[in-house]
Amino acid sequence: MRFKDKVVLVIGGNSGIGRCAAEGFGAEGAHVFLTGRDQKTIDETVAGIPGAQGFRADIGDIESGAAVLAAIKAQHGRLDVLLVNAGIGTFKPIADVTAEDWDHVHNVNLRGCFFALQKALPLMGKGGSIVITGSIGSIVSVPGNVIYAAAKAGLRAVARIFAGELVAQGIRVNMVSPGPTETPIISRTGGVSEAEVAGLREIMSNVVPMKRMGTPEEIARPILFLASDEASFITGIDLYVDGGCVEL
């Protein structure tokens, strides 16, 4: 019960890693608020977490998160834990990348995440914890991944600077960067057919030293650790949860 009576917001908490994390927070006693773009999966997730509240919001639309923050302020007056997990992916070779492709992904994965963090800060104070979902793609050269990788690399810089600026306020900021993970984002990746998705899964599994993809649960567990007081002397890190991809 590391999060008993803690107020937790999971942005992008209706599927994959975010959903597993939201369920984990709820199981450990948190008051869980979550956002997502799909009302059906929001409702399904909330139904499985006692007392949880879900809000439809698109992190790419900066103002769409206002309702959940207003609800948190009205009901609790504070936010103890923030997980920024929302993101989208795309695979395109450099020659095929358009300005529209670039802006679409960066609007969500970098710009949207920055402003979601910024707008939540007035509700946070000493003892607060922020965790951001990154990606080992920010440091690993994967052909076709230039748009996504650049956005996640930018987000890593954002996380580091937030950690530096907020340390004096007693707010910790950390990042968890998954390796290849079996989440719905794979199927939603732009520019990739079903056959290519299957091939992509095989390729990703083979590049992992453990020879398999990770599960959302395996990423959520380190997220909960960094969000909890067990990690009270940890801030500014980027924790690779990748089956050994980066280090081996």
Q: Catalytic amino acids?
A: 148
Beta carbons of 131 and 231 less than 8 angstroms apart: no
Which residues sit opposite 124 in a β-bridge? none
Which residues sit opposite 176 in a β-bridge? 133, 239
The C-alpha atoms of residue 27 and residue 12 are separated, in whole angstroms, by 18
Beta carbons of 169 and 126 less than 8 angstroms apart: yes
Sheet order of strands, 31-36 included: 53-56, 31-36, 7-11, 81-84, 129-133, 172-178, 238-241
Cα angle 232, 238, 244 (rounded to 5 degrees) comes to 115
Which residues sit opposite 56 in a β-bridge? 36
Beta carbons of 35 and 13 less than 8 angstroms apart: yes
Tokens of 137: 């793609």
DSSP 176: E
Please report, for residues 133, 170, 185, the alpha-carbon distance to residue 110 in angstroms, rounded to integers and kept in the order given.
11, 24, 16
Beta carbons of 215 and 180 less than 8 angstroms apart: no
Beta carbons of 79 and 117 less than 8 angstroms apart: no
